[in-house]
């Protein structure tokens, strides 16, 4: 095996991937809108809500975790098993790894329900940095639904999530083929295809499948990369026997760049 491949394998064998990028927090910007939402249940987003979204996105971009947590109830629950304390720890850990993130949140829909409101939001998260001749870019999109009572978020559910992280001068351009959801026990194909010719480059890669759990937000996952003989990853998998959520990831590395794409896949009952 060429020395270049030995070097890449040694360098990338201890690659760590952080699971659960904690994008769900940006629904908190709905908290201050509960009064106007209850007063007028219309399709138009209240002006107060739009203003508050801007303020909260700004606070999150500045990594002000104390300000962020003011909008969560003490009894906050999450479909991934997070509570208020574990969410705060996850945010701190995430912002340490990616310190220059920028957030932009929009309200997709909202309605008054009982003594609170239920709202669905879409958040886009981006980052770009260049240090010591190494570039890093983050692009993520998450859709979530939350219930707000008394100006506090009391519960939250992530509906969809997709994250792409690239580094290096020339990361692979990757196209992912994955189902939107799976039934328990269902078999599926997972393809991560490099779009451009590799030329003389070697390609390393790995596919990962993990259950969404609270501890995965804090503990990075080791990735063992393999030398690929084709221009991408082509895997088959089988959904678990019980409903839940899975993170499915592809990591592809060439001589001067890396691309990682993670997508959340819900597993539902038959």
pLDDT mean over 9-28: 45
pTM strictly above 0.85 = no
**What's the confidence (pLDDT) of residue 92?**
85
**What's the confidence (pLDDT) of residue 149?**
78
User: Hey, is 14 helix, strand or coil?
Assistant: coil
Per the CB < 8 A criterion, the answer to whether 264 and 161 are in contact is yes
**Do 71 and 147 sit in the same domain of this protein?**
yes
Q: Which of 146, 161, 176 is the last residue before a domain boundary? A: 161
User: Hey, is 53 helix, strand or coil?
Assistant: helix
Could you say which DSSP state residue 67 is in?
H
User: What percentage of the chain reaches a pLDDT higher than 70?
Assistant: 78
Terminal Cα distance for the chain, rounded = 47
Q: Using CA atoms, how far apart are residues 202 and 198, in angstroms rounded to an integer?
A: 7
Q: Using CA atoms, how far apart are residues 219 and 216, in angstroms rounded to an integer?
A: 5
**Do 52 and 92 sit in the same domain of this protein?**
yes
**Do 65 and 145 sit in the same domain of this protein?**
yes
Q: Which is higher by pLDDT, 197 or 220?
A: 197
Residue 19 predicted with pLDDT over 80: no
pLDDT digits (tens, 9 = 90+) for 59-98: 788 888 888 888 888 999 999 999 999 998 888 888 888 8
User: Hey, is 133 helix, strand or coil?
Assistant: coil
Q: Which of 124, 146, 161 is the last residue before a domain boundary? A: 161
**What's the confidence (pLDDT) of residue 96?**
84
Average pLDDT of the chain?
A: 80
Per the CB < 8 A criterion, the answer to whether 156 and 240 are in contact is no
**Do 64 and 93 sit in the same domain of this protein?**
yes
**Do 145 and 189 sit in the same domain of this protein?**
no
CATH of residue 121 = 3.10.450.50
**Do 81 and 154 sit in the same domain of this protein?**
yes
User: Hey, is 26 helix, strand or coil?
Assistant: helix
Structural domain of residue 181, as residue ranges? 3-15+164-268
Per the CB < 8 A criterion, the answer to whether 125 and 139 are in contact is yes
**Do 101 and 27 sit in the same domain of this protein?**
yes
**What's the confidence (pLDDT) of residue 132?**
65
User: How many domains does the structure of the chain reveal?
Assistant: 2
Residue 194 predicted with pLDDT over 90: yes
Residue with tokens 């940006």: 26
């Amino acid at each position: 095996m060429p020395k270049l491949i030995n070097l890449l394998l040694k360098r990338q064998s201890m690659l760590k991937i952080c699971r659960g990028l904690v994008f769900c927090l940006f629904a908190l910007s709905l908290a201050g809108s509960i009064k106007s939402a209850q007063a007028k249940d219309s399709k138009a987003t209240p002006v107060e809500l739009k203003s508050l979204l801007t303020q909260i996105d700004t606070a999150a971009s500045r990594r002000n975790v104390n300000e962020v947590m003011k909008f969560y109830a003490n009894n906050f629950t999450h479909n991934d098993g997070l509570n208020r304390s574990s969410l705060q720890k996850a945010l701190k850990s995430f912002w340490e790894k990616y310190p220059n993130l920028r957030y932009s949140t929009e309200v997709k829909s909202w309605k008054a329900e009982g003594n609170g409101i239920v709202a669905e939001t879409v958040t886009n998260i981006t980052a770009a940095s260049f240090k010591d001749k190494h570039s890093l870019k983050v692009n993520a999109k998450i859709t979530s639904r939350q219930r707000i009572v008394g100006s506090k978020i009391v519960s939250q559910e992530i509906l969809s999530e997709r994250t792409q992280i690239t580094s290096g001068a020339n990361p692979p351009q990757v196209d992912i083929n994955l189902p939107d959801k799976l039934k328990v026990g269902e078999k599926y194909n997972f393809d991560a295809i490099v779009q451009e010719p590799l030329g003389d480059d070697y390609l390393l890669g790995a596919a990962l499948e993990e259950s969404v759990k609270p501890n995965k937000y804090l503990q990075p996952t080791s990735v063992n990369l393999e030398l690929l003989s084709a221009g991408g990853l082509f895997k088959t998998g089988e959904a678990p026997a019980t409903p839940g959520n899975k993170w499915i990831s592809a990591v592809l590395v060439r001589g001067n760049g890396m691309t990682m794409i993670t997508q959340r896949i819900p597993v539902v009952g038959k």
